[in-house]
């Protein structure tokens, strides 16, 4: 089991994101300072509209900030262009979405392969599926898998490229609690075994118990940061 190290993966200072919706200005992020360390599992906790998805999108290179500094290693994400952000996502980031976003026309194995085929030093798709416990279901299409299984395929797809960071946006949001716990156990195991920095968005306070650190967001600002000296194992979570 690996523990968080002191190496900084993400470094953000004074992050602002302002959306203009017609006449109205929405301050989604309003001065966020944040460092994320290698190997840690962080939960971003907050009600909807608190800015957690916006923060995740900026960290994942989907959206540039309006102002502020955000770096991943020596890469300046705030100044990066579209092509550079694509390269960043391609080699550095693994995404897990609330609604899985699998490709319905590809089998479980192929959904993983579509990412490993473009990565530098990936796991084999079969290995990645084995890591999430779905080796038996590799030739099933998404329509033949349950929601929890689909999300585990999505996790396998995200980790197969050996990303620097795994970003999960409400990964259990569409699942019942039992299935949700099973998915969180997979994320926990990956974090411990592979040492992938994992950022997990949720509005479910219970899930926060499994994190090394819990970052509370409200109204686009960081309210407080809690540190769990001994994170609770995922299997003990319930909601």
Partner 1 sequence: MKALHRKLWRELWQLRGQSLAIAVVIAGGLATLLMSLSSLESLRLSRDDFYRDYRFAEVFAELKRAPNELAPELSAIDGVRLAETRLQSNATLMVGDFADPISGRLISLPDGRQPELNRLFIRQGRLPAAGRPEVVISDAFADAHGLQPGDQLQAVLNGRLQSLVVSGIGVSPEHIYQLKPGELYPDNLRYGILWLNRAQLAAAFDLDGAFNSVVLALDRRARPPAVVAELDRLLAPYGGVGALLREDQQSHSYLEAEFAQLAVLARVFPAIFLSVAAFLLNVVLARLISTQREQIAILKAFGYRNWQVGWHYCQLVLLMTGLGLGLGSLAGLWLGEGLAVVYAEFFRFPRLDYHLSWQVLLLGAAVTGAAALLGTLSAVRRAVLLPPAEAMRPEIPAAYRPTVIERLGWQGLLSQPSRMILRNFERRPGKALLSVIGVALACAIMMMGNFWQDAADYMIDVEFGLAQRYDLAVNFNELAPQRVLHELQALPGVTAVEGQRAVPVRLRHGHRSFRTVLHGLEADGRLRRVLDTELAILSPPTHGLVLTDYLAEILVLEVGDTVRVESLEGRRRVLELPVTGLVQEHIGVAAYQEISAMNRHLGDGDVVGGALLQVSPAQWPEVNRRLRESPLVAGVGQRLAAITNFQETMAETVLAFSFITSLLAGSIAFGIVYNSARIALSERSRELASLRVLGLRQRETDYILLGELALLTALGIPLGWLLGRLFCWYMTLGLRSDLYRVPLVLETSTYALAALVVAVAALISGLIVRRLLHRIDLVAALKAAE
d(CA 94, CA 136): 23
Q: How far is CA 228 from CA 23, 55, 173, 179, 193, in A?
A: 42, 22, 23, 24, 19
Residue 127 binds partner 1, judged by CB under 8 A: no
| Contacting residue, 78, 174, 194, 232, with partner 1 by CB under 8 A | 174
> 216 and 45 in contact (C-beta within 8 Å)?
yes
| Contacting residue, 40, 149, 169, 185, with partner 1 by CB under 8 A | 169
Phi, psi angles (nearest 5°) of residue 11: -135, 115
Residue 26 binds partner 1, judged by CB under 8 A: no
Residue 152 binds partner 1, judged by CB under 8 A: no
Number of residues that bind partner 1 (CB under 8 A): 37
Nearer to partner 1, 151 or 212 (CB): 151
Residue 99 binds partner 1, judged by CB under 8 A: yes
d(CA 143, CA 17): 37
Binding segment (CB under 8 A) for partner 1, from list 22-30, 84-92, 176-184, 202-210: 84-92
Please give the residues from 43 up to 62 whose contact with partner 1 meets the rule CB under 8 A. Answer: 53, 57, 60, 62
Residue 157 binds partner 1, judged by CB under 8 A: yes
> 197 and 9 in contact (C-beta within 8 Å)?
yes
Binding segment (CB under 8 A) for partner 1, from list 38-46, 97-105, 189-197, 200-208: 97-105
User: In 3D, which of 10, 62, 65 has the Cα closest to residue 34?
Assistant: 10
Give the residues across from 66 on adjacent strands: none
| Contacting residue, 142, 148, 180, 220, with partner 1 by CB under 8 A | 142
C-alpha angle 102-71-21 in degrees, rounded to nearest 5: 65
Nearer to partner 1, 6 or 143 (CB): 143
d(CA 216, CA 165): 20
Residue 113 binds partner 1, judged by CB under 8 A: yes
Angular region, 195: left φ>0, alpha ψ -120 to 50, beta rest: left
Note the residues at the interface with partner 1 (CB under 8 A): 53, 57, 60, 62-63, 83, 86-87, 89-91, 93, 95, 97, 99, 101, 103-107, 110, 113-115, 117-119, 141-144, 157-158, 161, 169, 174
């Amino acid at each position: 089991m690996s523990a968080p190290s002191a190496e900084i993966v993400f470094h953000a200072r004074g992050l602002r994101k302002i959306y203009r919706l017609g006449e109205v200005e929405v301050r989604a992020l309003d001065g966020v300072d944040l460092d994320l360390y290698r190997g840690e599992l962080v939960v971003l906790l907050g009600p909807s509209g608190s800015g957690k998805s916006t923060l995740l999108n900026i960290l994942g290179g989907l959206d540039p900030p309006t102002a502020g500094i955000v770096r991943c290693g020596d890469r300046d994400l705030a100044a990066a262009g579209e092509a550079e952000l694509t390269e960043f996502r391609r080699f550095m980031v693994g995404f897990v979405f609330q609604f899985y976003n699998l490709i319905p026309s590809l089998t479980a194995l192929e959904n993983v392969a579509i990412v490993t085929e473009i990565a530098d030093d990936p796991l084999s798709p079969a290995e990645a599926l084995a890591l999430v416990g779905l080796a038996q279901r590799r030739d099933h299409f998404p329509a033949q898998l349950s929601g929890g299984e689909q999300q585990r395929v999505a996790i396998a797809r995200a980790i197969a490229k050996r990303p620097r960071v795994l970003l999960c946006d409400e990964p259990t949001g569409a699942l019942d609690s039992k299935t949700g716990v099973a998915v969180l156990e997979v994320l926990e195991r990956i974090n411990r075994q592979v040492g992938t920095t994992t950022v997990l968005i949720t509005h479910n306070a219970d899930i926060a118990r499994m994190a090394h650190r819990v970052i509370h967001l409200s109204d686009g600002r960081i309210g407080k940061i809690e540190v769990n000296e001994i994170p609770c194992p995922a299997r003990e979570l319930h909601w």
